[in-house]
Structure 1
Amino acid sequence: MSTEQQINTFVIVGGGTAGWIAASILSRALAHMPCKIRLIESPHIPTVGVGEATIPSIVDMLEYLKIPLADFIVKTNATFKYGIKFSDWHTIGQDYWHPFGYVGSKIDGRPFYQHWLKHKKHGGQTEFTDFSPAIALSKQNRFFIPDPKHPTNLSSSTYALHFDATLVAQYLTHYCLDKNVQHSLNHIQHVALNPEGQISHLLLEDGEQVNGDFFIDCSGQQSILMGKAMRIGYENWQHYLPVNKAVAAQSAALDPLPPYTRSVAHEHGWRWQIPLQNRTGNGYVYCDQYCTDSAAQDLLSKHVGEFITEPRTISFTTGKRQKMWHKNCLAIGLSSGFLEPLESTSIYLIMKAMLNFVQTLPSKKLHQAPINEFNRRMDHEYNCIRDFIILHYCETKRTDSDFWRMWQNLAIPDSLQTKLELFRAQGQLYHDTDDLFASDSWYSVYEGMGVRPDEYDPVIDSSDFTKIEQALLSSKVALEHNASKPLDHMAYLSRIKTK
């Protein structure tokens, strides 16, 4: 595009994780373009700072930003994450895992799950995730990064990170300042729109007028640009996902240090446990229709023990903005929507939105077709993740409280109903190449929540069942044996620190 058509000034409103990830990706993408990026952060509004667990895409983002993994881990008190251990979701006393990476591998060209399903229907005693390298390592609190030059049966594991969200914001602040992003601490007094409905400028508390060509709203649930100024509505999903509050507090570090997140279902919601090097992040997500704030805090205290920080209560409305890109404004993070942190997708949605944006970087003309396509893709991201989260609830067999009994009759989206019906027939997954969660994620949660197909794929009968049974048992033993060899998680982190 010509210089006259280029956007010259991007203004980001809001800091925290969303603001600084947005600024980082934008500054990296525009490194060789004559653009100015300015981030305005209110000194009056504290960041939420509880998005401390991620999925493997965080590693891709660090690589994109050319941030050394070891440096990031040391400076953010990060630990590694192989997946999530769920407790008491389907029934009290039952655990299941959602692992990262692959579970098993195809046999005779057919999905491993189908062969395992036949094994199970013939009385097999293994669990599906017994064949996950990530879970084999998690159970023994071991960690390693696979070497592509020396593959083993553990090499199909992938990992994410747990980290201190406040330290991440500080880390990315320094990253952005080194790339000449301008940073201001000021409060937005007024957002001015031009006759076409675009944002023309911002008026700050100190009287400064901030002009820009494009504005990115990272102001959290306030959504002062997209929501308040541009009046883009919010699609409320509370009827699908009724939890609407969380109480969060920190406690002492765990020993041994697990390389996974824990999610434990309780009477009116669920509790997270996120292990960092120097402390543990804890929270209880609940529905205030069934649980008071004080009762939620008491429950968290009962299961966590002594807090090292004051508990904070956070309110939220599950859902998404009706448009995430409108005219010359883009909503990122909580200003664009909120999905409860059950599957640690908040950082991913920030990153994905920004990468989608820079791939379709607009000119000053702001053509509508790319804007529509961006909104379509992000709507699809939110819908797919919403369905996956609902799956963790809607198949529960718990009836021990009003909260869990509610799920016996709660309506689910038609899209999820279609996926469930298809899977129940012969274990077939709804084909969606754009779904964040891959096949083994769906298989793991379906199995964990007691959703097992009536039949397996009949094509599986063409394989030698006796040989496959033997292969399954030997591979499980080999996986457990090899998973005992790497360093334990804490020792691996200590080695990174001393390099």
Structure 2
Amino acid sequence: MSSQPNRIVIVGRDAALWLSATIFRHALAPAGISVTAIELPTDLGPAATYASLPPLEALHNKLGLEESALLRATGGSFSLGHNVVGPVPGMPPFLLAHGSYGAPIDGAGFFPYWLKARRFGLQAAFEDFCLTAMAARQGRMLVPDEETELFGRTDYGYHLPALPYVATLKARAAKLGITTHHSSTIGVEHQVETGSISAILLDDGMRVEGDIFVDASGPEGILADQMPDISRDDWRPAFVANRRLTARAARFASVPAYAEIRVGASGWTALHATQAATFVSYAFALEEQDDESALAAAGKLAGLTLSDPVVTSVEQGIRHQAWSANCVAIGGAACSFDPLLDVELHAIQLGIVHLLALFPAGAIFSAERSEYNRITRSAFDRVRDFQSAFYAANRFGPTGFWAAARGATTPATVGHKLAIFRARGDIAPMEDESFAPDLWQALFTGLGEIPESWPPAIDRTPPERMKDDFRRMLGFIRRKVLEQPTHDGYLASLGRSEAA
């Protein structure tokens, strides 16, 4: 290769393959860059679902994926956050909502004022000041308007049954004219001098050349594992769950506008409700439960009859180099996360967005490669930190799974965040965060962490000013929530689901 790379070859499966292929084609075709997709056999079954964080909406918009059509085609639903239900009596459930908590008071952030007021008898929970959380609690969708935008951030994610979602992305790829090949296995042809990939060999004998090769094969890392640096950092010491069971059940009569994490004695179950079905994920440790007892525990926590169960191993960890030579690992091929909060699509999106931003402008791209590895590593570390904090600060039980989770090797960055929060309620800022500071505060307070104090600068605000602002916020939230359509009604207004 003696000029700017102009041929991208993507090897992979499912959402990682088709999101990468469609976005790269859409963004880079005007620059004369071709995209070829090599599809491997799917890893998906009828119990597979994708749960997204709010940024996925923007990615869909770039592709021209119309939201109502997507939800009709997939039988998907909206999600305003994650409701965490613990097993400890007296520990209230708490919502990790996709929206801001409270509004500034007297020019300062909301949380320290809430913390101070709680110390002096305020009964309202932190989430009571979150418009998105309160809409979710009332079974409402949150449709932003000028008033809500002035109040604060209001976002949503999706619950998308995986098979029809992938089919939708694949149809978009065909419409964009992406060259596609199918192969059960592949071979990799390397340049002897550099170790770079020169071509992919398909099982029908075809040879596909390229300049940049993207590994979208998931944890298999079918290309990345054949590059010069295949070393990984093992994150398993920070986590207890090493098995994940997925299954599905009948849809709820009324579809909740959030995911629910139900904590049990030996793990947790997540419920992702859609128009088509209810998708269930159970994370556990093989040392405590075998697969058969895990299925029983998942069904009991969910309160549902489960079907199509699949159990997979969980091996949390990250590659030292997501981009090695001319091979870029995306999503699960670059980093294997804990199942908590279902960040798989988010990891794929982070890789896509950063590769687009750093796509080589010339034949030599060591600087771009180095920066891509730095920024994706930083972003993935921050996602891991949020997951790790859920386990490290848990108060879900004195023994077994949850005691082991508290005793796990906590990343130093998580320990630092916890220490600062416990001292004064602040969230230590770090680069490349996916989760906003108030979501960290919602996590810690929901888990029962109460800071010792607050920044003294807020003491200059008169108590009556605080009380007036609290009343104003709560009144505004009550009024706006009542104006919102129900989640069921809003889904119905988008048209009948084709997958329900």
In structure 2, do the counterparts of structure 1 residues 437 and 152 end up closer, same or farther at CA, with 3 Å as the change threshold? Answer: closer
**Does residue 382 of structure 1 match 2:380?**
yes
User: 1:439 aligns to what?
Assistant: 437
**Does residue 281 of structure 1 match 2:279?**
yes
Contact preservation (8 Å) 2:99, 2:133: no
Matching residue within 200, 203, 216 for 1:202: 200
**Does residue 185 of structure 1 match 2:175?**
no
Matching residue within 102, 127, 130 for 1:129: 127
Partners of 1:457 and 1:93 in 2: how far apart? 27
Letter in 2 for 1:341: P
Partners of 2:304 and 2:100 in 1: how far apart? 37
Partners of 1:290 and 1:255 in 2: how far apart? 34
1:114, distance to aligned residue in structure 2 (A): 0.7
In structure 2, do the counterparts of structure 1 residues 356 and 90 end up closer, same or farther at CA, with 3 Å as the change threshold? Answer: farther
In structure 2, do the counterparts of structure 1 residues 305 and 465 end up closer, same or farther at CA, with 3 Å as the change threshold? Answer: closer
So what's the TM-score if we normalise by structure 2? 0.94
User: 2:354 aligns to what?
Assistant: 356
Partners of 2:39 and 2:473 in 1: how far apart? 53
Letter in 1 for 2:268: W
1:340-355 mapped onto 2 (5 Å cutoff): 340-355=338-353
- Runs in 1 of length 4+ with deviation above 6 angstroms? 89-92, 152-155
In structure 2, do the counterparts of structure 1 residues 189 and 182 end up closer, same or farther at CA, with 3 Å as the change threshold? Answer: same
Partners of 2:403 and 2:258 in 1: how far apart? 29
1:273-422 mapped onto 2 (5 Å cutoff): 273-304=271-302, 307=305, 309-363=307-361, 365-422=363-420
User: 1:109 aligns to what?
Assistant: 107
Contact preservation (8 Å) 1:89, 1:449: no
1:377, distance to aligned residue in structure 2 (A): 0.5
Contact preservation (8 Å) 2:81, 2:258: yes
User: 1:461 aligns to what?
Assistant: 459
Partners of 1:158 and 1:323 in 2: how far apart? 32
Partners of 1:409 and 1:315 in 2: how far apart? 21
Contact preservation (8 Å) 1:153, 1:479: no
Farther-moved stretch of structure 1 (465-474 vs 67-76) = 465-474
User: 1:14 aligns to what?
Assistant: 12
Matching residue within 169, 174, 185 for 2:171: 174
1:332, distance to aligned residue in structure 2 (A): 0.9
Partners of 2:406 and 2:178 in 1: how far apart? 51
1:92, distance to aligned residue in structure 2 (A): 7.4
Percent identity between the aligned chains?
Answer: 25
Contact preservation (8 Å) 2:142, 2:481: no
1:163 alignment partner, SS class: strand
1:227, distance to aligned residue in structure 2 (A): 1.4
In structure 2, do the counterparts of structure 1 residues 91 and 462 end up closer, same or farther at CA, with 3 Å as the change threshold? Answer: same
1:400, distance to aligned residue in structure 2 (A): 4.5
Partners of 1:494 and 1:109 in 2: how far apart? 41
1:52 alignment partner, SS class: strand
2:328 alignment partner, SS class: strand
So what's the TM-score if we normalise by structure 1? 0.94
Gaps of 5+ in 2: none
Partners of 2:302 and 2:396 in 1: how far apart? 23
Gaps of 5+ in 1: none
In structure 2, do the counterparts of structure 1 residues 361 and 353 end up closer, same or farther at CA, with 3 Å as the change threshold? Answer: same
User: 1:55 aligns to what?
Assistant: 53
Partners of 1:300 and 1:306 in 2: how far apart? 9
Letter in 2 for 1:172: L
1:344, distance to aligned residue in structure 2 (A): 3.0
Cα deviation per residue 1:283-324 (whole Å; 9 max; x = unaligned)? Answer: 111111221111111112223455464111111201111111
User: 1:217 aligns to what?
Assistant: 215
1:370 alignment partner, SS class: helix
Partners of 2:328 and 2:197 in 1: how far apart? 11
User: 1:35 aligns to what?
Assistant: 33
Letter in 2 for 1:445: L
